[in-house]
Amino acid sequence: MKIKFIGAAREVTGSKHLIATDDGVNILLDCGMFQGKGLETDSMNKNLGFEPKDIDYLVLSHAHIDHAGLIPYIVKNGFEGMIVCTHGTRDLCAIMLADSARIQEHDTHTHNKKRAKEGLPPIEPIYTIKDAERSLGFFVSISYNNKFKINKNVSLVFTETGHILGGAAVNLTIKEGDETKRICYTGDIGRQRNLILRGPQPFPQADYLITESTYGDRLHDHQDDAQKKLLQVVVDTCVKKKGKLIIPSFSVGRTQEVVYSLHLLVNKGWLPKVKVFVDSPLSINATNIMRTHPESFNDDMLEQMEKDTDPFGFNNLIYVRTEDDSKKLNNYDEPCIIISASGMCEAGRIKHHLANSVSNKNNTVLFVGYCAPSTLGAKLKRGDPDVSIFGIRYAVKADIAVLESYSAHGDYNETILYLSCQDKKQLKKIFLVHGEYETQEKYKATMEQNLFTNIEIPEPMQEFSL
């Protein structure tokens, strides 16, 4: 069989790895969108590097858009196979693909207005909400740790990675003639201790390993410190400065972790009595999906739920769904906490909150996640004295704070610990994907110090025989 690394090769977005067996079965691992590559992004997403109709099975590691975001596009272009994933991934895909389609339609509409002024014909969005809805008909979802036979020669088992709800390593067993080959694709690997989910679980022995390397050169803060730091920022902003605390946050995973952290602080009686607003429809939908998957929660979380059935609800917490209610927050003068999306401040309601608050020194903007270099979030994070929001320049007078320990990816110590469930001698080849090349080189060296061998860093479109 052959494997081709189509996306997330020497970079972090566009995850797509294509396995072609000798008897002609094509299995695509993830179908992610390329993101944040400026003008190139669109053509990179449209030039797939394969024919959608040729894919028999698409197996998903998780629902993040850089791993699943092109599903509606391949469905629109002739895919008729089966999409296999965990229950959590399927449920999240239902809201995330529709949300992504809404963004595509909205951005294209704005772009077409500019084109019309220049006398240019309109262009079509890469996919629409209808395409996103239609793609859900191809999904088959299964539980973790259950062997699923996708045809007479290919079976798979999903194991937990603790990255986001539904996140899974794909453990494939493929029979070719007399030979059986075991391939593990880890997808994205969470931190050893997630606040809500179970951490990454050991996975069956593989012959070939495809694994992420996002933080292959970095160590994170200890997670226990996160709650204390969060409380400190709340007290400094809402009590001492009597201002607003604005938290830009990813809708899936991060928002629920921040809400749950605040909930634990409320239970301890430590959180000042201020209103907490979660202002993002996608975050609200994602939180509702989290509520329906307690089977993925860790023991601490389950124990907590015996005392307190709703981990994502407490007095003073208000979920804001409508646009009108969101606008009302602009005139809310009391100290408060506003959690809104997107995490990198590139889209969504967070931009309105920043425009409204960033020039007031009593406020604080707290970052709890990664921001790609050219985004508004990154500009605020690195301390730019003024920023442009909706084409207007705003002086940055608010305090800027950063809390990195809520990361959804393990650092290199954590990922190496996770991979150490393998008998290293049985691993014939390790492929590093989903990382910047410099980071990957450093990670490769660290892995070699930990006695992993035969490590490759595939280039885009590079193919290997297994």
For the purposes of burial, counting CB atoms within 10 Å of the CB of 147, is it exposed (0-12), middle (13-18) or buried (19 or more)? exposed
Closest CA to 344 of 373, 364, 323: 373
CB of 323 to Zn ion, least distance (A): 28
Give me 423's structure tokens.
């008998």
Nearer to Zn ion, 241 or 434 (CB): 434
d(CA 389, CA 87): 38
CB of 164 to Zn ion, least distance (A): 6
Q: Put the strands of the sheet holding 16-20 in their side by side order.
A: 139-142, 82-86, 57-59, 26-29, 16-20, 2-7, 462-465
Facing residues of 209 across strands?
184, 430
Nearer to Zn ion, 188 or 217 (CB): 188
Closest CA to 106 of 314, 428, 346: 346
Beta-carbon count within 10 A of 41 CB: 16
CB of 62 to Zn ion, least distance (A): 6
Facing residues of 135 across strands?
none
Nearer to Zn ion, 4 or 64 (CB): 64
- Spatial neighbors of 322 by CB under 8 A, at least 6 apart, are none
Closest CA to 208 of 254, 174, 243: 174
Using CB under 5 A as the binding rule, whether residue 257 contacts Zn ion is answered as: no
Q: How many residues bind Zn ion (CB under 5 A)?
A: 2
Nearer to Zn ion, 67 or 352 (CB): 67
In eight-state DSSP terms, residue 276 is: E
Give me 101's structure tokens.
């389609």
CB of 409 to Zn ion, least distance (A): 7
Q: Site map for Zn ion, 54-83, x if CB under 5 A?
A: ----------x-------------------
Closest CA to 216 of 460, 462, 457: 457
What single letter denotes the amino acid at residue 113? K
Give how far Cα 170 sits from Cα of 30, 205, 334, Å. Answer: 10, 12, 48
- Spatial neighbors of 372 by CB under 8 A, at least 6 apart, are 35, 36, 344, 378
Nearer to Zn ion, 32 or 243 (CB): 32
Give me 76's structure tokens.
């629109």
Facing residues of 320 across strands?
279
CB of 33 to Zn ion, least distance (A): 12
d(CA 110, CA 112): 5
Contact 328, 131 (CB under 8 A): no
CB of 339 to Zn ion, least distance (A): 20
Positions 344 through 403 that interact with Zn ion (CB under 5 A): none
Positions 174 through 213 that interact with Zn ion (CB under 5 A): 188
Contact 168, 89 (CB under 8 A): yes
d(CA 413, CA 215): 10
**Closest CB to Zn ion: residue number:** 64
d(CA 279, CA 350): 8
Q: Which residues bind Zn ion (CB under 5 A)?
A: 64, 188
